[in-house]
Amino acid sequence: MEQINRLGRVVSPGVVDYIERPVAALSATQVRIAVKASAICGSDLHIFKGMHPFCKLPATVGHEFSGVVTEVGSSVSRWKIGDRVTVEPCITCGVCEECRSGSYSYCEHITFLYRNGDGAMADHVVAEGDHVFALPDTLSFEAGALIEPLAVATHAVRRADIALGHSVVIVGAGAIGVLVAAMCRHSGVNRIAVVDTVDTRLDMARAFGASHTINAMLDDVEQKIREFGGSAGVDRTFECVGRQETFVQAMMWLRKGGLATMVGIFEQTEISIPVTRFVSHEIHVQGAQGYCWDFPIAIDVAKELDLERLVTHTFPMDRLQEAFDMALDRSKAPMKILLVPGTNIDN
């Protein structure tokens, strides 16, 4: 009997549907994984709104997930049926200059599983065996679904060249901002301020390593930043929102010679910034996207973190529309929403 895979996708802005297709045969290097938990990512929300700059609708969704290996290709020796795993969901060519030099995140042809039609809001996902990572027995499938965003935070913090004694401001206390705080703390930084507009998110940031929190709706943000970093400014900032005003803040709060790392996805294709700041303060601004050799670090650090604490809502896979609507409901202050196949969960 032919096996069918059911996948969730965004068919138009704000509208989810499901498609069914036969489970394809594996190539020699691939692994099939039964999804046990899949998380909604900020980039999934941009897709849901029809405003992702690199992903056009209709599109399958989901790339933060964990599961169990159910089938392996003929040349795969590292994995066996029953292995608990998570997946680095990028697809690279392996032959361009960047791939051959080891900088595969700069691959000329990079794409991601969900952009290739294999989203993780599904029963099964097929991935290349060398992009699969063992999920330690000490980590649940729920925690395993959050390794991918932890790897994103790992990559951003590694690119920021964090050092002992640095002062850090993180703009945005969504999952990525909170995990950036955790990785900064893990890197030895003890002066970490997080700015957001929701107290419950700021509380989460403190639980994951922030030393200071600032509510932009209630506090005088500029005064609080001066109190935290001094009149000269701070050493490092991370923008984890994706808005013009937060981009500018991340620039302006830097001390001379400071570094801002932009992690948020910007729905606007163009923004205005105070360009003279680059000259007057000799600041540096860089981006951080995805991961490159960051998954092993993230998995190791995950053993020390209570990642499940980030999960605020869980839905069965057939309530994907409801899950996305919840993710955009600021009154519910969702942090991480998980989709779990084959369950009858009632939030």
- The predicted-structure confidence for 126-168, as pLDDT tens digits, reads as follows 999 999 999 999 999 999 999 999 999 999 999 999 999 999 9
Predicted local distance difference test score (pLDDT) of residue 61: 95
Cα angle: 111, vertex 112, 117; to 5 degrees:
110
Residues across the chain? 347
Domains of the chain: 4-145+306-340 (3.90.180.10), 159-287 (3.40.50.720)
Residue 268 has pLDDT above 90, yes or no: no
Predicted local distance difference test score (pLDDT) of residue 1: 59
Distance in angstroms (rounded) separating the CA atoms of residues 235 and 259: 7
By mean pLDDT, which of 233-242, 318-327, 330-339 is the weakest?
330-339
Cα 199 from chain centroid (whole Å): 21
Q: How is the beta sheet containing 15-22 ordered, strand by strand? A: 15-22, 4-12, 59-60
Predicted local distance difference test score (pLDDT) of residue 3: 86
Predicted local distance difference test score (pLDDT) of residue 308: 97
Q: DSSP letters of 68-128? A: EEEEE-TT--S--TT-EEEE--EE--S-SHHHHHT-GGG-TT-EEGGGGT--SSBSEEEEE
Question: What is the 8-class DSSP label of residue 56?
Answer: P
Which residues, other chains included, contact 147 with Cβ-Cβ below 8 Å and sequence gap of 6+? 64, 66, 86, 133, 135, 295, 298, 299, 302
Residue 343 has pLDDT above 60, yes or no: no
Cα 40 from chain centroid (whole Å): 9
Residue 40 has pLDDT above 70, yes or no: yes
Res. 267 pLDDT band, cuts 50 70 90? confident
Closest by CA to 342, choosing from 39, 143, 122, 142, is: 122
Mean pLDDT of 40-69: 92
| pLDDT tens digits for range 70-105 | 999 999 999 999 999 999 999 999 999 999 999 999
Distance in angstroms (rounded) separating the CA atoms of residues 279 and 335: 38
Predicted local distance difference test score (pLDDT) of residue 347: 54
| pLDDT tens digits for range 174-228 | 999 999 999 999 999 999 999 999 999 999 999 999 999 999 999 999 999 999 9
| pLDDT tens digits for range 227-247 | 999 999 999 999 999 999 999
Assigned token pair, 172:
């945005």
Compute and round to an integer the Cα radius of gyration of the chain: 20
Predicted local distance difference test score (pLDDT) of residue 244: 97
Mean pLDDT of 117-127: 94
Do the Cβ atoms of 79 and 132 come closer than 8 Å? yes
Closest by CA to 161, choosing from 189, 133, 136, 138, is: 189
Distance in angstroms (rounded) separating the CA atoms of residues 163 and 187: 7
Per DSSP, the three-state class of 29 is: coil
Predicted local distance difference test score (pLDDT) of residue 176: 97
Residue 345 has pLDDT above 70, yes or no: no
Per DSSP, the three-state class of 19 is: strand
Does pTM top 0.85 for this prediction?
yes
Distance in angstroms (rounded) separating the CA atoms of residues 302 and 139: 8
